[in-house]
Amino acid sequence: GHNSNCGLVHFLGVVEAEDSALVQVLKKQGAIPFVKTNIPQSLINFDCSNSIYGQTLNPHNHKKTPGGSSGGDGALIAGGGALLAVGTDVLGSIRIPSSFCGICGLRPSGDRLR
């Protein structure tokens, strides 16, 4: 497991006992997770900022946001730091950063990775 604070100071330094089910599946398929990106506090914002890591900037224009809630993923990919990322999307959390950062986002149906 890794530090998973969801952008909340309360959970800073809390290390999970094991990897999430999704990370376990990805590793089993040969993926090598190498970075965690920024998210808005509690994932409830269309911006990408929290009290731990601060504001994430859009790599194409630092005066703009990459969107949220998976804005850190959008900025990382648009900036050339990774080829793909895994995020969640209920109300646009993948689609909004993809649009703001000029990249392609995919919102698969639930239970897609096995």
Which pLDDT tens digit goes with each residue over 17-54? Answer: 999 888 999 999 999 999 999 999 988 889 999 999 99
Report the predicted TM-score, pTM, of the whole model to 2 decimal places. 0.88
Which pLDDT tens digit goes with each residue over 60-78? Answer: 999 999 999 999 999 999 9
CB of 35 within 8 A of CB of 81?
yes
What is the residue extent of each domain of the chain?
A: 9-101
Alpha helices by DSSP H, the chain = 21-28, 71-78, 95-101
Q: For residue 11, count other CB atoms closer than 10 A to its CB.
A: 12
